[in-house]
């Protein structure tokens, strides 16, 4: 059984196909292209632009920023609710003391 030979353009197109489809695993991409997963992996390492890794890293950073922002908002809300609770407790004590005859 002889090894298949792929031209340079096919290799570049395969790598671009994999890098452009973030939801696609290496196994799925190689299966769709009809090549071995290890072959595609080698091409990605040799010819890849790193676009996929950069895109994933940026998406993760955006998620971390939105998580941090959500935490800040929740902390503000928590502080506001604590303040309201303290006011209500003071009011409750005031009215409870007033009703003692």
Q: Other CB atoms closer than 10 Å to residue 44's CB: what's the count?
A: 19
55 and 43 within one domain: no
36 and 55 within one domain: no
54 and 43 within one domain: no
For residue 25, the SS3 value is: coil
Exposure on the CB side of residue 22, measured as CA atoms within 13 A: 11
CATH of the domain at 42: 1.10.10.60
Cα–Cα distance, 48 to 73 (Å, whole number)? 40
The pLDDT score that the predictor gives to residue 71 is 92
Instruction: Name the residue range of residue 59's domain.
Output: 50-101
The pLDDT score that the predictor gives to residue 6 is 87
5 and 33 within one domain: yes
56 and 43 within one domain: no
Cα–Cα distance, 45 to 79 (Å, whole number)? 50
User: What tens-digit pLDDT sequence spans the chain (101 residues)?
Assistant: 566 788 899 999 999 898 888 888 889 999 999 999 999 999 988 888 878 878 888 888 888 888 888 899 999 999 999 999 999 999 999 888 877 65
Domain count, the chain: 2
Per the structure block, which two tokens stand in for 72?
Answer: 């800040």
Cα–Cα distance, 58 to 55 (Å, whole number)? 5
33 and 19 within one domain: yes
């Amino acid at each position: 059984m002889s090894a298949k030979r792929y031209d340079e353009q096919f290799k570049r197109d395969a790598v671009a196909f994999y890098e452009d489809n973030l939801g696609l695993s290496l196994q799925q991409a190689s299966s769709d292209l009809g090549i071995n997963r290890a072959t595609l992996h080698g091409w990605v390492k040799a010819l890849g632009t790193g676009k996929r890794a950069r895109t994933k890293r940026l998406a993760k950073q955006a998620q971390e920023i939105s998580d941090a922002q959500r935490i800040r908002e929740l902390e503000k809300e928590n502080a506001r609710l604590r303040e309201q609770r303290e006011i209500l407790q003071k009011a409750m004590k005031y009215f409870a003391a007033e009703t003692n005859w």
